[in-house]
Amino acid sequence: MTESPESYENDAHETAPRDVYTHGHHESVLRSHTWRTVTNSAAYLVPHLEAGLSILDIGCGPGTITVDLARRVAPGRVVGVDASAEIVAKAAALAKDEGVHNAEFLLGDAYALDFPDASFDIVHAHQVLQHVANPVSAMREAHRVLKPGGIFAARDVDYGGVRWYPLTTGLTEWLAVYRDVHYWNGGNPDAGPALKAWARLAGFTDITCSASIWCFASDAEREWWGESWAVRATESAFAASAIESGVADLVDLQDIAQAWRDWVRDPDGWLGMPHGEIIARKEH
């Protein structure tokens, strides 16, 4: 499937047949999300973090990055919003457990943020824009709630660039099925390279781009990542979407789960996931 940035010009949010978060919040998914920190997922933002800054974290998920951001800008106000009430409650519990008092979590929609114009110094979105049907509309909303001179920071994967070893047909099938399901749900698995174009369409003119890679290779990393995907392949919202869309059947998904378990067991196993990143500054 190909697309042009112009395909996001219209408010497709109003008309998109689906706008569904592919992964859902099954335990197998959360296992891979709660590993995330500012260091491994938002290092490009670190030079812009200062005590006292206010941050809105859109699509905050379980909140591990949000809580980490809150520690780094304390006593600045940090707000995480997510479309899932269940995950907002988990994120709030994390902040409480960690004794982080300057982070709060609210139910919220990236397309219609419940904040006045010019509310935040930084708006952050990690692995979110790939999952919404109209990322440009979400970016325009981020632009609205930013203070003049504030920054929008986004990072998304480029599934088209994911590489692994050994090059098994089972994992090739995983990627093909995953990509089709992600598109079927209204998202874009190749969001990372498109972030700059989307930000320009959303009205940002001062945009700095970077890229970084997640790499999973050690025994512990393969066990954690591959076993998470082995379960996700048959039990998560991704599995339900794969079957509902007709992209795969249960046998296909069981084969994919087995391919991940084979990869976990292979001491030569390696996987790299590239990500695009942008720092887009709102005009003064």
Under the criterion CB under 6 A, does residue 88 sit at the interface with ligand SAM? no
**Residue 112 amino acid letter:** A
Q: Quote the least distance from Cβ 215 to ligand SAM, whole Å.
A: 17
The residue with its CB nearest to ligand SAM is: 61
In the range 171-200, which residues lie near ligand SAM by CB under 6 A? none
How many residues belong to the site for ligand SAM (CB under 6 A)?
22
Residue among 131 and 222 whose Cβ is closer to ligand SAM: 131
- CB of 251: closest distance to ligand SAM in angstroms? 27
Query: Using the rule CB under 6 A, is 84 a contact of ligand SAM?
Result: yes
Q: Please tell me whether residue 152 adopts helix, strand or coil conformation.
A: strand
131 touches ligand SAM (CB under 6 A): yes
CB count within 10 Å of CB 271 equals: 19
Name which of 46, 77, 271, 267 is nearest 164 in CA terms: 271
Rounded distance between C-alpha atoms, residue 161 and residue 228, angstroms: 20
d(CA 204, CA 197): 10
59 binds ligand SAM (CB under 6 A): yes
Token pair of 126 as six digits = 């990690």
Which amino acid type is present at position 86? Answer: E
Stretch that binds ligand SAM, among 120-128, 172-180, 200-208, 214-222 (CB under 6 A): 120-128
274: contact with ligand SAM by CB under 6 A: no
Taking the least distance from each CB to ligand SAM, the nearer of 13 and 269 is: 13
**Both tokens assigned to 158:** 């480029």
CB of 65 to ligand SAM, least distance (A): 5
Using CB under 6 A as the binding rule, whether residue 82 contacts ligand SAM is answered as yes
Between CA 14 and CA 19 the distance in angstroms is: 10
| Residue 140 interacts with ligand SAM (CB under 6 A): yes or no | no
Q: How far apart are CA 129 and CA 138, in angstroms?
A: 8
* Residues in 9-48 that interact with ligand SAM by CB under 6 A: 21, 23, 33, 36
Burial 136-156 (b: 16+ CB within 10 A, else e): bbbbbbbbbbbbeebbbbbbb
Q: What are phi and psi of 243, to 5 degrees?
A: -75, -45
> Which are the contacts of 155, defined by CB distance < 8 A and separation ≥ 6?
41, 42, 44, 125, 126, 127, 192, 212, 275, 276, 277
**Which of 213, 250 has the CB closer to ligand SAM?**
213
Nearest approach, Cβ of residue 265 and ligand SAM (Å): 27
Nearer to ligand SAM, 65 or 247 (CB): 65
Stretch that binds ligand SAM, among 45-53, 124-132, 193-201, 266-274 (CB under 6 A): 124-132
Residue type at 25?
H
Min CB(109)–ligand SAM separation in Å? 5
Q: Binder to ligand SAM among 12, 61, 134, 236 (CB under 6 A)?
A: 61
**By the criterion CB under 6 A, which residues form the site for ligand SAM?**
21, 23, 33, 36, 58-61, 65, 82-84, 87, 108-111, 126-128, 131-132
